[in-house]
Amino acid sequence: MASPYRALFAAPGSKGFSAAGFLGRMPMSMMGIGVVTMVSQLTGRYGLAGALSATLALAAALIGPQVSRLVDQYGQRRVLRPVTLIALAASALLLLAASYRWPDWVLFAACVGIGCVPSLGAMVRARWAALYRGTPHLHTAYSFESVIDEVCFIFGPIISIGLSTAWFPEAGPLLAACFLAVGVFWLTAQRATEPEPHPRTRSGGGSALRAPGLRVLVATFAATGAIFGSVDVVTVAFAEEEGHKAAASVVLAVYAGGSCVAGMVFGLLRTAGAPERRWLLGVCAMAVSMIPLLLVGNLPFLAVALFVAGLSVAPTMITTMSLIEEHVPRAQLTEGMTWVSTGLAVGVALGSSAGGWVIDAAGARAGYGVPAVAGAVAAAVGFLGYRRLKRPAPGRGGTVEQHTHGEREERNLA
């Protein structure tokens, strides 16, 4: 491990909460695809399976920020344990309802309950921020967590689908629930690194979305999520048209691999300049990287194009976390991070639907027009909101790069 990453884990407790966060984050890539695999195997109803997966994603997108808001106010342990028990009970209900062919409405109700699952990525990043705020280590920490996200999305679906098809249909979602339970209860048992809660005063209430800069980030990442959701769906269809459907998982893993590589390298750099400018360049790079997909003629070329496209993903996500610290009050940091994830999740759902519609109407090759359009929308929103990102409000949490920007020192002391 390179020295900046080795130094990152010198802090007491950092290895423990990072490992717990990794286990607790696996369900985010396992549960949705696990539900699709389970329900389609048990009932043969792909329409129902897709609707349940969409319900789960939208429920998590709506409930997740509210859970994180409570975490900021009351602390991780007091909030995460009860809401996780609700999500686990809903998961058990879903497995039983699917196995015993209970009415469809029970399945949908269970998926809504699973939406209580907390955003472990935001919880872990909040712990890193509490440890390293205002130091170069926080940039490295966010880079590391971005890589962990990509690792989860590379291996999570493979594990979930593999278990449900090779063992029994409920195996994938069952293991995802086990990962969630172990990750959350292990994380919340580590009290020494838990960020201090910030009880709201009457004047300090309200949603983190009141911050104009955060609204820009959420809107941009809704369009970015549409890139990810449509690329996944269209790539599977393209691989099937090429006669190698199984290769789709490999090609998509290459996409995530490009992001992993970029995230690791980005974490080693000591970046200079305004983060909002670097963020806008990253969003534009993601948009431009979608254009070559319109020209793909075979799977090897597609894999190369997606690897290159992945190189801009992790650095943009890492810089986004830095900007959230600038534009969201410190007492609402976890909620702010979760809102960006919510925007991303909503975009994924919309992109998946749009990609499927275009595939049905015009074929897989035309489907790559969806991520290209989504990328253009993301860049446009980024440009339109850029001025708001240049004006962080006083008293915000402070960026990870303040140690190199004297003009922002006052904000870090606020």
Residue 283 pLDDT more than 90?
Answer: yes
- Residue where a domain stops, chosen among 191, 220, 248: 191
Residues 226 and 94 in one domain: no
Q: Say whether 168 sits in a helix, a strand or coil.
A: coil
Beta-carbon contacts of residue 359 (< 8 Å; ≥ 6 apart):
233, 234, 237, 366, 367
Which alpha helices (DSSP H) does 269-312 contain, by range? 275-288, 299-310
Q: Are 221 and 344 part of one and the same domain?
A: yes
Please indicate whether residue 331 or residue 346 has the higher confidence score (pLDDT).
Answer: 346
Residue 399 has pLDDT above 60, yes or no: no
Residues 178 and 219 in one domain: no
Q: Is 270 left (phi over 0), alpha (psi -120 to 50) or beta?
A: beta
- Mean pLDDT across the chain: 82
Residue of higher predicted confidence among 70 and 236: 70
**Whole-number Å distance between alpha carbons of 287 and 303:** 17
Residues 37 and 149 reside in one and the same domain: yes
| Residue range 86-100: mean pLDDT, rounded | 94
Higher pLDDT, 269 or 205: 269
Which band of pLDDT confidence, cut at 50, 70 and 90, is reported for residue 387?
confident
Percentage of the residues of the chain whose pLDDT score is greater than 90: 26
User: Are both 145 and 244 inside the same structural domain?
Assistant: no
What are the pLDDT digits (tens) for 181-224?
A: 999 999 999 988 888 887 765 445 566 667 777 888 889 989 99
Are 176 and 234 found together in one domain?
no
For residues 348-352, average pLDDT? 78
Say what the pLDDT of residue 392 is.
Answer: 56
**Same-domain check for residues 25 and 135:** yes
For residue 410, what pLDDT is reported? Answer: 30
Q: What is the pLDDT of residues 128-182, one digit of tens each?
A: 888 887 787 887 888 888 888 878 877 887 788 778 878 888 888 999 999 999 9
Q: Are residue 164 and residue 268 in the same domain, yes or no? A: no
Domain that holds residue 113: 1-6+15-191
Please tell me whether residues 261 and 374 are part of one structural domain.
yes
**CATH code for the domain of 229:** 1.20.1250.20
pLDDT in the model for residue 409 = 31
Report the number of distinct structural domains present in the chain. Answer: 2
Residue 367 — left, alpha, or beta (φ > 0 → left; ψ -120 to 50 → alpha)?
Answer: alpha
Q: What gap in Å lies between CA 260 and CA 313, rounded to an integer?
A: 9
* pLDDT surpasses 70 at 321: yes
Within this chain, do residues 216 and 364 fall inside the same structural domain, yes or no? yes
**Mean pLDDT throughout 393-398?**
48
Q: What pLDDT, on the 0 to 100 scale, is given for residue 272?
A: 66
- Interatomic CA distance for residues 246 and 325, integer angstroms: 41
Q: Is residue 49 part of a domain?
A: yes
- Does 39 share its domain with 133? yes
Q: Quick one: 81 exposed, middle or buried, by C-beta within 10 A (0-12, 13-18, 19+)? A: middle
109-135 average pLDDT score: 87
